[in-house]
Amino acid sequence: MVRIIAILVGAAFTFVLALALWGTVSTAITDPAPETAEHEFHLHPRDAGLSSAGFFGKYDRRQVQRGFQVFKEVCAACHSLKYVSFRDLEEIGYSEAEVKAIANQWVIETPSVNPDTGEAATRKNVASDRFPSPFANEVAARAANNNALPPDLSLIAKARHDGANYVFSLVGKDGYRPQPAELLKKFPETKTPDGLHYNPYFANLNIAMPPPLTTDGQVTYTDGTVATHDQMAKDVAAFLTWTAEPKLEARHAAGFASVVFILIFCFLAWGAYQNVWRDVKH
């Protein structure tokens, strides 16, 4: 009796589930969702071709350092790196002395308190400090950016789908462009409002951030690399990939070692099985 009841309950559940699925499918066929400008004109990010991509990916230290230079000279005016410390830069090839110099010379100083008066003050950064925000608080950040809040870039490469390629495409030479005439003709209501900028790689096509990279040679690389628009975009994408995944190389190495271990273990287990049961006749 119990088995019959269980079968009936299971059959009823299956029927209700199938009915709901059929309703969803039939609605999608008879009343499809309307086309949107974002769905039709949003572009998939271009491939940045970073050396860190792929199962065996590793960081190109020189490229990451160039990306840091782009961040320092272009992005740091509006964006923070609140999860990254100055001393972390040693992992991408800077010496301890260079890190101390970078921290000491950083344009934004670390908030502090005057020990004599108790009033708010600032002090020079040290290697153990995290990169200070260019704004005192969110209100100040919005006031300086037409009420838009510049996101922290520490984890941006992980917070966005296909993050490294997204950053590269967004600020690269093909990112900011005039709105296509076809878009305005088909979706006139999506005309880019004043104060925003059309970018097909951004989620809703219109972004508050002005083009950060505008011309070739905007940054003069210390290693002599020619700073084309796409080169700078690729380098800053490499740097922000590192800030989001500083242990990427260790993770890749651990994954490779784990796969090798599992293969060896499976081979040994198969050999043991053959040895133990070799005299058993089926």
- pLDDT, tens only, 144-177: 888 889 999 999 999 999 999 999 999 999 999 9
**Are 240 and 131 within 8 A, CB to CB?**
no
Ranges assigned E (strand) in the chain: 110-113, 120-123, 197-198, 206-207
Name the nearest CA neighbour of 231 among 249, 218, 244, 242.
218
Residues 6 or more apart from 202 whose CB is under 8 A from it?
Answer: 170
Classified as helix, coil or strand, 206 is strand
pTM for this one?
Answer: 0.82
pLDDT band at 119 (very low <50, low <70, confident <90, very high): low
Quote the CA–CA distance of 111 and 140 in Å, as a whole number.
15
Neighbours of 191 (CB within 10 A): 13
pLDDT above 80 (res 31): no
Stretch (H or E) spanning 24: helix 2-30
Question: 117 is written with which tokens?
Answer: 């008066």
Which residue blocks in 90-197 are alpha helix, DSSP H? 96-105, 138-144, 156-159, 163-171, 181-186
Which residue blocks in 60-134 are alpha helix, DSSP H? 61-73, 96-105
pLDDT band at 41 (very low <50, low <70, confident <90, very high): confident
Q: Over the stretch 250-272, which tens digit does the pLDDT of each residue have?
A: 999 999 899 999 999 999 999 98
DSSP state, residue 145: T
Domains, the chain: 44-83+151-270 (1.10.760.10)
What does the mean pLDDT of the chain come to?
87
Let me know how long the chain is: 282
The pLDDT, as a whole number, for residue 225 is: 92
Residues 6 or more apart from 73 whose CB is under 8 A from it?
Answer: 218, 219
The pLDDT, as a whole number, for residue 281 is: 61
Q: Over the stretch 201-210, which tens digit does the pLDDT of each residue have?
A: 998 889 999 9
pLDDT above 70 (res 27): no
The pLDDT, as a whole number, for residue 212 is: 95
Q: Over the stretch 76-114, which tens digit does the pLDDT of each residue have?
A: 999 999 999 999 999 999 999 999 999 999 988 777 666
Classified as helix, coil or strand, 113 is strand
